Amino acid sequence: MLRKHTYCDELQQGKRALGPTYGTSPVAVHRHAISGVGSAAREHLFDKAVTPSDVGKLNRLVIPKQHAEKYFPLQIDGAASKGILLNLEDSGGKTWRFRYSYWNSSQSYVLTKGWSRFVKEKSLRAGDVVSFQRSTGLDRQLYIGWKPRSSSTFIPAVQALHLARPIPVMRLFGVNIAKVPGKTASTPTHDEGGRNGERWRCRSRSSGRRDASESCNVDCVRR
Amino acid sequence: MLRKHTYCDELQQGKRALGPTYGTSPVAVHRHAISGVGSAAREHLFDKAVTPSDVGKLNRLVIPKQHAEKYFPLQIDGAASKGILLNLEDSGGKTWRFRYSYWNSSQSYVLTKGWSRFVKEKSLRAGDVVSFQRSTGLDRQLYIGWKPRSSSTFIPAVQALHLARPIPVMRLFGVNIAKVPGKTASTPTHDEGGRNGERWRCRSRSSGRRDASESCNVDCVRR
DNA sequence: TAGCCGACCTGTGCA
DNA sequence: ATGCACAGGTCGGCT
How many other C-beta atoms are found inside a 10 Å radius of the C-beta of residue A108?
15
Is residue B149 very low, low, confident or very high in pLDDT (cuts 50, 70, 90)? confident
Segment B1-24 mean pLDDT? 32
Question: What is the pLDDT, as a whole number, of residue A107?
Answer: 93
What is d(CA B52, CA B34) in angstroms, rounded to the nearest whole number?
33
Q: Which of residues 74-133 of A touch strand D (CB under 7 A)?
A: 81, 101-106
Output the pLDDT for position B120: 95
Asked whether A223 and A96 are in contact (CB, 8 A), the reply is no
Query: In 10 A of CB B154, how many CB atoms?
Result: 17
**pLDDT tens for residues A99-149?**
999 999 999 999 999 999 999 999 999 999 999 999 999 999 999 999 998
Nucleic acid strand D within 7 Å of B12 CB: no
pLDDT for the residue numbered B199: 30
pTM for this entry: 0.65
For residue A200, what is the enclosing H or E element? none
The DSSP code sequence of A145-176 is: EEEPPBTT---TT---TTSSPPPTTT--TT--
Q: How far apart are CA B125 and CA B119, in angstroms?
A: 8
The better pLDDT of the pair B17, A214 is held by A214
The residues, any chain, with a CB within 8 Å of residue B162's CB and separated by 6 or more, are: B173, B174, B214
Q: Residue B71's closest CA among B161, B146, B135?
A: B135
Average pLDDT, chain B: 64
On whether the CB atoms of residues B145 and B133 are closer than 8 A, the answer is yes
**What was the pLDDT predicted at A220?**
52
The answer to whether B7 CB sits below 7 Å from nucleic acid chain C is no
Q: How far is the CA of A207 from the C1' of D1 (A)?
A: 10
For residues B11 and B164, the answer to whether their CB atoms sit within 8 Å is: no
CA distance B70 to B87: 17
* Residue B188 pLDDT exceeds 90: no
Residues in A 131-190 whose C-beta is less than 7 A from nucleic strand C are none
Q: Distance between CA A176 and CA A194 in Å, rounded?
A: 10
List the single protein residue with the shortest CA to C1' distance from D1. A205
Query: Integer distance in angstroms from CA B145 to C1' D15?
Result: 30
Q: Return d(Cα A28, Cα A38) in angstroms, integer.
A: 11
| Class of residue A176 by CB neighbours under 10 A (exposed 0-12, middle 13-18, buried 19+) | middle
Write the CB contacts of A15 (distance below 8 Å, at least 6 apart in sequence). Answer: A23, A29
Q: Judge contact between B22 and B147, C-beta under 8 A.
A: yes
What CA–CA distance (Å, rounded) separates B150 from B22? 12
Between B186 and B58, whose confidence is greater? B58
CA-based angle A24:A26:A30, to the nearest 5?
A: 40
Q: Which amino acid is it at A8?
A: C
Closest CA to A188 of A127, A146, A101: A127
Task: Give residue numbers, 30 to 59 of B, with CB < 7 Å from strand D.
Answer: 51-54, 56, 58
Domain A42-147: state its class: mainly beta
A25-29, A80-84, B49-53, B83-87: least confidently modelled range: A25-29
Average pLDDT over residues A184-188: 33
What are the residue boundaries of the structural domains of chain A, listed by start? Answer: 42-147
Residue nearest to nucleotide D8 (CA to C1'): B53
Question: Among A162-166, B28-32, B78-82, B166-170, which range has the highest average pLDDT?
Answer: B78-82
**A36, pLDDT greater than 90:** no
Q: How many CB atoms neighbour CB A99 within 10 A?
A: 16
- Beta strands at B42-49 and A84-89: parallel, antiparallel or unpaired: unpaired
Q: What is the pLDDT of residues A55-88, one digit of tens each?
A: 999 999 999 999 999 999 987 654 446 789 999 9
Residue B37: predicted pLDDT: 54
pLDDT score of A38: 52
